Amino acid sequence: MLRSSVTLARKYLSLAPSHPPKYWTDPAPLERARMEYEIEVAGRFLRYFPELNLQGKEVLEIGCGYGGSAARFAELGAKRVIGLEPFQKPCKEARAFVAEKGVSGAKFVVGLGEQIPLQSNFFDVITSYDVFEHVEDLEKVLDECLRILKPGGILFAVFPPFYHPTGAHLDTWISRMPWSNVLFRCETIIKAVAELLRVRNDGFSPMPMRPKDRLWALNGATIRSVSKLVAQKRFSGAELVLSPLFSPKNSKWESWRMKYYAFAFAPLRYVPRLRELFVNRMVLKITKSPGNSQ
């Protein structure tokens, strides 16, 4: 790796520096849970699936965070919501939050999507928002989803492609500059970020990278790789829709002042290579076939 490329990446990232928000570094009790709840009340997830009726359903939320959205799903009539999260701390806070809200029927389990510690053929619905780009092995997670869904059950997932403008997920803690992982190799970004963190010296460090990660806690899922994955026979009930970068479903839409000309960018989601750069979210829906007892 050329030293000059690392220097250039460092200068690029420094054009719009970003620092971790206080709710990451020093959160108030239940702050994250309340934030998630309010966002879900506004329809963050369900706006992508207007047909989804949770009434009376057994629901699993993969990547439940601090329990805000699980609490909201329970309020919307789910028979039971089980939230899955890989760490104990958010699960503990999620339990406290649903207790504070007086929400019954929401439980939280520590575990990984690649090895879900729950019984087969049980859930009517699986939901996941902005999580599938973070799992270590997406194929294993989808297989686990098929295993625990009832025949006829449906997975509803929303997540950004890796080459989305902020797909490198650096914007909340080191740099707001877009498309950094398009302009630079991942290895270059890793070195440049390490140097920036040494200079900043504020004690913050990202999560350690796992063996398959492209960047910190990112598996590198692209539209192309996900399309190829769900085209396999066992995912025959799959629908993949590409939500354009500039649309009402993008929370940054108004701030980007695209209200009157977003339509001009919408066709880019159909252009094979450019779509990786101009799609806001991949919207994935997989129905488990009645004959699939996996």
Residue holding tokens 């270590």? 136
pLDDT at 262 over 90: no
Residue count (the chain): 294
How confident is the model over 240-268, as a mean pLDDT?
71
Cβ(127)–Cβ(45) under 8 Å?
A: yes
pTM of the model: 0.93
Find the angle CA(85)-CA(133)-CA(71) to the nearest 5 degrees: 35
The residue among 1 and 111 whose pLDDT is bigger is 111
pLDDT band at 248 (very low <50, low <70, confident <90, very high): low
What pLDDT was estimated at residue 275?
Answer: 94
pLDDT(253) > 60: no
Banded pLDDT at 185 (limits 50, 70, 90): very high
Task: State yes or no: pLDDT of 187 exceeds 80.
Answer: yes
Query: Mean pLDDT for the chain?
Result: 93
pLDDT in tens, 15-36: 999 999 999 999 999 999 999 9
Give the C-alpha separation, 159 to 153, whole Å: 20
Residue 258 above 90 pLDDT? no
Confidence of residue 170 (pLDDT cuts 50, 70, 90): very high
Helix H or strand E segment including 108: strand 106-110
Calculate the alpha carbon distances from 144 to 78, 235, 265, 294 in Å. Answer: 21, 12, 36, 9
Q: Which helix (H) or strand (E) holds 39?
A: helix 31-41
Q: Considering only CA atoms, which of 94, 86, 173 is closest in space to residue 131?
A: 86
Q: Strand 238-244's sheet: what is its strand order?
A: 106-110, 80-85, 58-62, 123-129, 149-159, 279-287, 238-244
Tens of pLDDT, residues 59-107: 999 999 999 999 999 999 999 999 999 999 999 999 999 999 999 999 9
For residue 1, pLDDT over 90 is answered with: no
Whole-number pLDDT of residue 251: 63
Q: How many CB atoms lie within 10 A of CB 177?
A: 20
Res 5: pLDDT: 95
Q: What is the pLDDT of residues 117-159, one digit of tens each?
A: 999 999 999 999 999 999 999 999 999 999 999 999 999 999 9
Q: How many Å apart are CA 113 and CA 35, to the nearest integer?
A: 24
Three-state secondary structure call for residue 52 = coil
Q: Are 247 and 267 in contact (CB under 8 A)?
A: no
pLDDT of residue 132: 98
Structural element, H or E, at residue 126 = strand 123-129
Those residues with Cβ within 8 angstroms of residue 90's Cβ, 6 or more apart along the chain or in another chain: 32, 64, 65, 66, 67
Confidence bin at 271 (pLDDT 50/70/90): confident
Burial grade of 250 (CB within 10 A; 0-12, 13-18, 19 or more): middle
Say how many C-beta atoms besides its own lie within 10 A of residue 98's C-beta: 24
% of residues, the chain, pLDDT over 90 = 85
**Domains parsed from the chain with CATH numbers:** 1-18+170-214 (no CATH), 26-160+222-287 (3.40.50.150)
Tokens linked to 132? 């599938």
Q: Is the pLDDT of residue 270 over 90?
A: no
